[in-house]
Chain A
């Protein structure tokens, strides 16, 4: 892994990978959308509104996955002091906040016709909302210092504190109130969701994953170039 921590090598490899990731994202999302909108059957209770799921669920998965990426990159940055890991964490966080926001908004749009309300103080919704604020805190802390490295390190510590706290918050919120349906894909004894609905969902999730990889590389490249410009301009 240390071999890839070299910014120059990263720039070279990412330049090759970036277009392929972008194409993969577009193809998977296109197939997933076709499957979701034309192949998958409407739900017998929820009708066509169930198709919000194909955006809602992948963004919910990505929201938690990206937080794990941020925390992992932060840990790597603090332990081995790779500057690239700081850049990865800070580039991933706004994308993760975006996925969390999409998850909240699509959930709200889905909840209105299904539950008859835009928002309920249900356990899963509330944990995602808290996750959104954890992202905001990370981004705000990373940008709160005149000295950028200071901000990066503080935010990295916060990400690790957050990842330890997330299960505790999740548990306590579950304890506090539970309307959201239980997870129907990842469970003991296999998924309870029909195959015709499952495959577009998984294809969409893969597309989202490639989309995240594309954005992450794009943002990291931009951050590296920005640092280079700053170094050239101020001779630091």
Chain B
């Protein structure tokens, strides 16, 4: 456990020392959301109608944007090789990386989302469900993204490739995330959608580290 927290702390420290990572993700999220009123017009009813979808799609893209840095720097400066020699299993290290990634993207996105929801006239009744859904859904984005990031290490044009691999796998999170947020805003039951999101979270928590670690191993061979 102590090595797990040491790994998380290391990644967080790196993220904050280099600076800008968290700010960039949040800025991208805010800007992308703000583009929608320009695109579809300022009509409050229309914006309220599409707000949950807009928030989720842009949150998805913002999370995707920061995935590349998950293993890339460590891979290129050789620290990934050193880390793989640690007595801690690579699967646990992947989990630590995902935790750090979520703390620097998923959590800030969840904190900013309600403010942006306000701008889009998202119905007030939907806020608790929106936040709960984001809290459950964004870790899944980090976990599935870790598989994609590990697979594309050292690939040509890794960034574009990463989005091609990861975005189709993000569809279930998007569907249930939007469904939970919209159901609550319309005064319907959002619990089943939240439970399904939780199931996705549990499944990816159990399975994604294995796949990502396998991908890392063959990248290090």
A134-B168 contact, Cβ under 8 Å, with A154-B151, A157-B218:
yes
A146 and B156 contacting across the interface, CB-CB below 8 Å: yes
B86 at the binding interface (Cβ < 8 Å)? no
Q: How far is the CB of B23 from chain A (nearest CB, A)?
A: 30
A residues apposed to B, CB below 8 Å: 78, 130, 133-134, 136-137, 140-141, 144-146, 150-151, 153-154, 157-158, 160-162, 164-165, 168-169, 171-173, 175-176
For A173, list chain B residues within 8 Å (CB): 171, 175
Per the bound structure, the CA–CA distance linking A161 and B166 in Å amounts to 11
How many A-B contacts are there with CB distance less than 8 Å?
80
B151 and A140 contacting across the interface, CB-CB below 8 Å: no
B165 and A130 contacting across the interface, CB-CB below 8 Å: no
Q: How far is the CB of B213 from chain A (nearest CB, A)?
A: 10
B215 and A133 contacting across the interface, CB-CB below 8 Å: no
For A176, list chain B residues within 8 Å (CB): 175, 179
Per the bound structure, the CA–CA distance linking A145 and B218 in Å amounts to 13
A158 and B165 contacting across the interface, CB-CB below 8 Å: yes
B152 and A172 contacting across the interface, CB-CB below 8 Å: no
- A145's partner among B156, B164, B207 (CB-CB below 8 A) is B156
- A140's partner among B161, B196, B219 (CB-CB below 8 A) is B161
A133-B168 contact, Cβ under 8 Å, with A150-B218, A172-B175:
yes
Chain A residue nearest to B164 (CB atoms) is A137
Per the bound structure, the CA–CA distance linking A37 and B156 in Å amounts to 48
Q: A141-B151, A164-B207 are in contact. List 6 more A-B contacts (CB 8 A).
A: A137-B164, A140-B161, A168-B200, A169-B172, A175-B176, A176-B175
For A162, list chain B residues within 8 Å (CB): 169
B17 at the binding interface (Cβ < 8 Å)? no
A141 and B165 contacting across the interface, CB-CB below 8 Å: yes
A133 and B219 contacting across the interface, CB-CB below 8 Å: no
